[in-house]
Amino acid sequence: MIKPPVLQPGDTVGLISPASPVHEHGDVTEEELQRGIECLKTLGFQVRLGKHAREVRGYFAGTDQARTDDLHAMFADKTIRAILCIQGGYGTPRLLPYLDFNLIRANPKVLMGYSDLTALNVAIHQQAGLVTFHGPTVGYDMAQEFIYTKQWFERAVMRREPIGEIKNPDDGPEIVSLSSGRVTGRLIGGNLSLLIATLGTPYEVDTTGAVVFLEDVDELPYRFDRMLTHFALAGKLRDAAGIVIGECVDCVPKDAKKPSLTLTEILDDLVRSLNKPVLYGVCCGHGKKKVTLPYGVQATLDADACRLVIEEAAVE
């Protein structure tokens, strides 16, 4: 496993759009991108945008080749110390067949994103051996209230020490235990929809012996149920040492007249019976406040104490 160098004030970070475009009618506007850039500057970073970062091709930020070229250029550029994604959205899996894992392995640096960017994080972590980061995007998260999220960003990539115990904000959801037990293993996971999309491909997630975290957003309960069942049928829950269900925003019934299970009932059906530790409610999803979780480092899940502790530093 390769750890990227620690980030320090004065470093240059590169911004890319591997998925959806910056657009006045999209999830991230130019104004929001600029607010995110200003946030990075207050942390002491210099900022450089990828050549194609503002391109628009339908629901993509440019062609597959253009988006891949930006990622490769950022890894190859010795003056760039981290690569941050402007937003998620849709389209990252289309880049996976074109990735140069040898280039990435030879030029380790922080790569961060979540949601659609799960596909990029998992593929690069597993194929290149690099610790990647499930964490905030520039145009969506850093453009909003950033105090809590900033704390965990800094602990993950700006300090050569373990992140330690993950704690939700005071106004966040309560972390609860769904099944007892205590395990230690490498941390892996991300957005459930994207993990499902890569099953059966060379880039599917390996959960063997891992502490697996899962989250999603705006999915009707039956859709979440179907995806989690698929994940279970693929053996991914069976192979895991323990499971963390993150904050699943708006995964609720939309029509009160239609019969539905709740997310808690789905989890009761599908994860309680696994006889392994399970936590629910960690702020690692699409909420406005989120922690940064590094892929591949050792973590301890203590469901009896409702604790998730990152035991290993993610940068060096």
Could you give the residue numbers annotated as active site?
A: 115, 215, 286
Position 13: which residue type?
A: V
* Cα atoms in the 13 Å half-sphere on the side-chain side of 41: 9
b/e map of 236-263 (b: 16 or more CB within 10 Å)? bbeebbbbbbbbbeebeeeeeeeebeeb
* Cα atoms in the 13 Å half-sphere on the side-chain side of 152: 27
Separation between Cα atoms, residue 269 and residue 211, nearest integer Å: 20
Phi, psi of 182 (to 5 degrees): -140, 125
